Amino acid sequence: MKQSNALVEKIFAAADAMNDEMVTRRRDLHKYAEPGWTEFRTAAMVAGELTKLGYAVEAGAAVVKKEAMMGVPSDERLAKEMERAVSEGADPQWVEKMAGGLTGVVGTMKCAGDGPVVALRFDMDALDLMETTDAGHEPLEKGFASVHDWGMHACGHDGHTTIGLAVAKILAELKEELKGTVKMIFQPAEEGVRGAYAMVEAGVVDDADYLLGAHIGMKLPRTGAIAARIYGMLATTKFDANFTGVPAHAGMAPEQGKNALLAAACAALNLHAISRHSGGTSRINVGKLIAGSGRNVIGDKALLQLETRGISTEVNEYVASEAQRIIKAAADMYGVTVDISRAGGAAGAENSPALADALTEHARELGIFSEIVEEPVDFGGSEDCSYFMQRVQNNGGQAAYLNIGAKLAAGHHDAHFTFDEAVLGLSVKVIATSAAGLLNGEIKA
């Protein structure tokens, strides 16, 4: 059944009216880019805005489970970033709530009638990257390049946050014409797939019937394109392994050393030899190995940074479990100790088929996209939105992730990245109408 045209038109008009506001907001976020778990200024702003719009807002420990956070910066760093955020205009009351890096925000709004719970998820963090200073880079030329030389929005999450707040505003304005409950979820630390798990574990989507997520520019570097049949989000686990041995003079008494460098080297080789899995795509990569000190000292310290992936949570669990055994055995092999910590993770996921079909059809009917991708799109990489999707799907709900095309100046994670801001309005329109359609039961899935 088609969606009411009147509502769609109201949403389109509201989105068009907000265009300048969105550009301004996106540029402000870009300028004050905040990497994972330090999004104090961004999250405080989001919390403040949602409150103004009438949402019931929760932030900090209520929506981020501390024990489930991964890859968290040091306490010193967090304390410094809190001060920095306040000095850059963040509301100290919200920032205080987020102490310890608990920078997640959820705004909930009950609409006029009974209906489903529709959760929308947006990620807010920047990358640990220094933005280019090359001439011609638009953010530089227009004065909104990052003022933090340790952080840059090179993945479009400034856009995502902006879109999320605009959708929140439109839905709030249309509250009386909507049924059910809207949950606006703003997630920290998507980069390194560190943040979603802690919000899912805090239960923020346990009541959701539908969950929508989106990414701009991903796989579709063309403004006007959209794909809703996404599959192949790889499950992944990120590990850090710290080996500790005993140093010794390599000439005088080598036998007194316990060689952490060789333990790490041995682990690296054997990790890459983890067997393929008949259940489908798997991956293993040791991306960093830092070991030893002086040339004539038996290396007593070593760090491995690695990741596993799998087409399904099961396949990834196989690789991750093999990896942990191998790392421990490599430590034993050299008589050293090892501490393994999870630095990130994502589930394997794919869009719920019926919802994917319905959203593809819906996107076509909106008439604003120049390219509707019909073929299933293999996501290929990992995105921790998958944790939200998996939880909702496991609870019997449906979940989908949209790829919304955008022209890019350079690839994601490149210091020259920026995107065509026209994607902001298109995204707001498709997400807000989709949410409204699901709330009102006009989009059937």
Stretch in the footprint of a copy of itself (CB under 8 A) among 56-64, 86-94, 267-275, 432-440: 267-275
89 binds a copy of itself (CB under 8 A): no
Residue 135 contacts by C-beta under 8 Å, 6 or more apart in sequence? none
Site for a copy of itself in 377-406 (CB under 8 A): 380-382
Under rule CB under 8 A, residue 279 binds a copy of itself: yes
Q: Is 250 in the site for a copy of itself (CB under 8 A)?
A: yes
Q: Cα-Cα-Cα-Cα dihedral of 347, 29, 173, 438, to 10°?
A: -20
Out of 5, 74, 87, 278, name the contact with a copy of itself by CB under 8 A: 278
User: 244: part of which helix (H) or strand (E)?
Assistant: strand 235-244
Member of 253, 339, 374, 444 binding a copy of itself (CB under 8 A): 253
User: Least separation, in Å, of the C-beta of 246 and a copy of itself?
Assistant: 12
Q: Residue 445 to residues 251, 279, 351, 438: CA-CA distances in angstroms?
A: 71, 28, 12, 8
Residue 265 binding a copy of itself, by CB under 8 A: yes
293 contributes a contact to a copy of itself by CB under 8 A: yes
Question: Cα(320)–Cα(284) distance, rounded to whole angstroms?
Answer: 9
Using CA atoms, how far apart are residues 299 and 260, in angstroms rounded to an integer?
Answer: 6
Using CB under 8 A, which residues numbered 295 to 334 contact a copy of itself? 295-299, 302, 305-307, 309, 318, 322, 325-326, 328-330, 332-333
Smallest gap from residue 50 Cβ to a copy of itself (A): 33
* Shortest spacing between CB 190 and a copy of itself, in angstroms: 14
Q: Which is nearer to a copy of itself, 171 or 331 (CB)?
A: 331
Nearer Cβ to a copy of itself, position 109 or 326? 326
Applying CB under 8 A, the span of 19-27, 177-185, 286-294, 363-371 interacting with a copy of itself comes to 286-294
Contact flag: residue 272 with a copy of itself (CB under 8 A): yes
- Which of 365, 381, 343, 351 has the alpha carbon at shortest distance from 430? 365
Q: Does 206 bind a copy of itself (CB under 8 A)?
A: no
Distance CA 334, CA 241 (A): 15
The number of beta carbons lying within 10 Å of the beta carbon of residue 283 is: 16
> DSSP code of 254?
G
The region of 28-36, 53-61, 138-146, 293-301 touching a copy of itself under the rule CB under 8 A is: 293-301
Which one of residues 107, 292, 345, 425 is an interface residue with a copy of itself (CB under 8 A)? 292
Sorted by sequence, the CB contacts under 8 Å of residue 132 that are 6+ apart come out as 140, 415, 416
Q: Does 147 bind a copy of itself (CB under 8 A)?
A: no
154 near 414, Cβ under 8 Å? yes
Q: Report the first-to-last Cα separation within the chain, whole angstroms.
A: 11
Segment holding 40, helix H or strand E: helix 40-52
| Contact call for residues 341 and 304 (beta carbons, < 8 A) | no
Question: Which residues have CB under 8 Å from 221's CB, separation 6+?
Answer: 405, 406, 407, 408
Q: Is 251 in the site for a copy of itself (CB under 8 A)?
A: yes
Does residue 273 belong to the site contacting a copy of itself (CB under 8 A)?
yes
- Sequence-separated (6 or more) residues with CB below 8 Å from residue 166: 15, 18, 21, 22, 424, 428, 432
Q: Shortest distance, CB of residue 237 to a copy of itself, whole angstroms?
A: 11
Kindly tell me which of 53 and 343 has the beta carbon lying closer to a copy of itself: 343
Q: Which is nearer to a copy of itself, 74 or 278 (CB)?
A: 278
What are φ and ψ of residue 164, in 5° steps?
A: -60, -45
Per CB under 8 A, the segment of 62-70, 145-153, 167-175, 255-263 that binds a copy of itself is 255-263
Which range, of 34-42, 131-139, 233-241, 349-357, touches a copy of itself by CB under 8 A? 233-241
Residue 341 in contact with a copy of itself, rule: CB under 8 A: no
From 320, 341, 232, select the one nearest 277 (Cα to Cα): 320
Q: With binding defined as CB under 8 A, does residue 343 bind a copy of itself?
A: yes
Closest Cα partner for 235 from 379, 382, 341? 382
- Rule CB under 8 A: which residues touch a copy of itself? 192, 234, 236, 238, 249-257, 259, 261-262, 264-266, 268-270, 272-273, 275-279, 281-299, 302, 305-307, 309, 318, 322, 325-326, 328-330, 332-333, 335, 343, 380-382
